[in-house]
């Protein structure tokens, strides 16, 4: 009935998540509130880990791209699923460290890691550092020298693939700030150089072509380009690439218009390309890694808001204001991202009105959606926005000094907090005023 399996409706016509009444959750924890269903997250994880096993046996690992939603509880959950973790900043790395995540299963990404971040990664002993460019390679080699350590690295490659998604979340084409280009020879040069550095162990390659992608062909093309590059490296440098990280980017369903490919189909198609190219080019199969973020956590989360004032402007539009907005979900403002909305307290009532859902920030563009079909809404209703598990909390801000919402996890009929609601004291805690 709803776009996520963890959602349903109870006899009071309230939306439920993981069997719990969302209206009661909103009352208990306050709003705005991020709510996650643990079983759904685990189910999404297992779709990947089982599929990986089916198509690559033990020669693969699924990493969770923690940028989608990174908290200590989430790191623990991912660890308990036996997965690895993609981190992209010192903050994400520190979160994982504090959660006791095994460092050998961490891949550290980023196009502009600072010296301090690289030092932190070396001191924690992270499994792999994904080197983005020549400057980083040299800095890392130097830092390893000082720390008397060797770094096992992957290289971020632009495979030159144009994935059909929003411009801001497209990353595999040549005009991208991420990685080094194949077609100009830059990537081969980077590998040649890395191979001469004593503190660098060249382990693998990485690519990521973008996010919220529904087409299969770009993933297969990227896999083919990367496998061919592995063969070229072998030929030209005599180097065996042991790991190929194919990134994340699998689209999820935000509205009924979205039609994602099943992961199994994706795995099947990509693994076929990988194996065929290996055979054709006569190279060994590398260990395959993938790093989904959105598709692990997106469908497992919703956001609950309290409806405030409703403003009808005849002939123009109807504004429905909620007690959050761009500060807890900037995705509509940034990407025109579409969501499914419903009134949690009248979940199946006919949607016979159209609203512009506005936030409470002092900014006209602070909207969560336009032309949103809903039943007639009133102050005090609970508005649910579905599939907000990925890139909502992680992109939240304190704009207008709004405290960030709490996040809770529900499981087997129980709920618990995983992120406390910020207080006004949290808002001023770093201010210095003498």
Residues interacting with ligand LLP, by CB under 6 A? 65, 67-68, 86, 109, 169, 208, 211-212, 247-250, 291-295, 331, 335, 390-391, 395
- Closest contact distance (angstroms) between CB of 138 and ligand LLP is 22
How far apart are alpha carbons 98 and 275 in whole angstroms? 38
Residue 362 a catalytic site member:
yes
Q: Which residue, 240 or 397, is less far from ligand LLP as judged by CB?
A: 397
Q: Give the Cα separation of 390 and 385 in Å (integer).
A: 12
**Residue 23: is it exposed, middle or buried by C-beta count within 10 angstroms (0-12/13-18/19+)?**
buried
CB of 275 closer than 8 Å to CB of 258 = no
Rounded least distance, CB 335 to ligand LLP, Å: 6
Rank residues 4 and 212 by Cβ distance to ligand LLP and give the closer one.
212
DSSP H helix total and E strand total for the chain: 12, 21
CB of 295 to ligand LLP, least distance (A): 6
Residue matched to tokens 């196009």: 111
Query: Least separation, in Å, of the C-beta of 216 and ligand LLP?
Result: 15
Contact assessment for residue 373 and residue 354, using Cβ atoms and an 8 Å cutoff: yes
Give the burial class of 107: count Cβ atoms within 10 A of its Cβ; 0-12 exposed, 13-18 middle, 19 or more buried.
buried
6, 75, 362, 433: which one is catalytic? 362
Strands, E, within 88-173: which ranges? 106-108, 128-131, 151-158
Query: 248 or 405: whose CB is closer to ligand LLP?
Result: 248
Q: Is the bond preceding 32 in cis, omega lying within 30 degrees of 0?
A: yes
* CB closer to ligand LLP out of 152 and 169: 169
Minimum CB distance to ligand LLP smaller for 147 or for 169: 169
- Work out how close the CB of 347 gets to ligand LLP at its nearest, in angstroms, rounded to a whole number: 26
The residues annotated as belonging to the active site are 362
């Amino acid at each position: 009935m709803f776009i996520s399996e963890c959602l349903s409706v109870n006899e009071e016509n309230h939306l439920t998540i993981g069997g719990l009444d969302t209206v009661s959750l909103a009352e208990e924890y306050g709003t705005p509130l991020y709510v996650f269903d643990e079983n759904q997250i685990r189910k999404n994880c297992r779709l990947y880990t089982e599929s990986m096993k089916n198509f690559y046996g033990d020669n693969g690992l699924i990493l969770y791209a923690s940028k989608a939603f990174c908290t200590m509880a989430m790191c623990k959950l991912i660890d308990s699923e036996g997965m690895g973790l993609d981190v992209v900043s010192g903050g994400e790395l520190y979160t994982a460290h504090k959660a006791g995540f095994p460092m050998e299963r961490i891949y550290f990404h980023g196009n502009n890691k600072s010296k301090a971040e690289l030092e932190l990664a070396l001191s924690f002993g992270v499994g792999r550092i994904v080197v983005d460019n020549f400057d980083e390679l040299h800095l890392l080699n130097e830092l390893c020298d000082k720390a008397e350590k060797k770094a096992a690295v992957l290289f971020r490659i632009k495979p030159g693939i144009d994935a059909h998604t929003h411009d801001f979340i497209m990353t595999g084409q040549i005009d991208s700030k991420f990685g080094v280009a194949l077609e100009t020879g830059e990537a081969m040069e980077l590998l040649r150089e890395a191979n001469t550095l004593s503190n660098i162990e060249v382990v693998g390659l990485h690519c990521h072509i973008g996010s919220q992608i529904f087409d299969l062909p770009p993933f297969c093309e990227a896999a083919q380009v990367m496998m061919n590059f592995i063969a070229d490296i072998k030929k030209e440098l005599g180097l065996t690439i042991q790991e190929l990280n194919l990134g994340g980017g699998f689209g999820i369903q935000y509205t009924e218009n979205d039609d994602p490919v099943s992961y199994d189909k994706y795995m099947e198609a990509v693994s076929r390309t990988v194996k065929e190219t290996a055979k054709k080019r006569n190279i060994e199969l590398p260990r395959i890694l993938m790093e989904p973020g959105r598709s692990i956590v997106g469908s497992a989360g919703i956001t609950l808001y309290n409806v405030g004032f409703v403003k009808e402007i005849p002939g123009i539009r109807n504004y429905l204001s909620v007690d959050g907005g761009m500060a807890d979900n900037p995705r509509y403002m940034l990407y025109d991202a579409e969501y499914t909305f419903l009134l949690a307290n009248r979940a199946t009532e006919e949607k016979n009105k159209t609203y512009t859902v506005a936030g409470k920030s002092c900014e006209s563009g602070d909207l969560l959606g336009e032309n949103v079909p809903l039943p007639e809404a009133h102050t005090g209703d609970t508005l649910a926005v579905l599939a907000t598990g990925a890139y909502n909390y992680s992109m939240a801000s304190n704009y207008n000094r709004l405290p960030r919402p709490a996040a809770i996890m529900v499981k087997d009929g129980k709920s618990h907090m995983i992120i406390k609601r910020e207080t006004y004291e949290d808002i001023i805690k770093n201010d210095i005023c003498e």
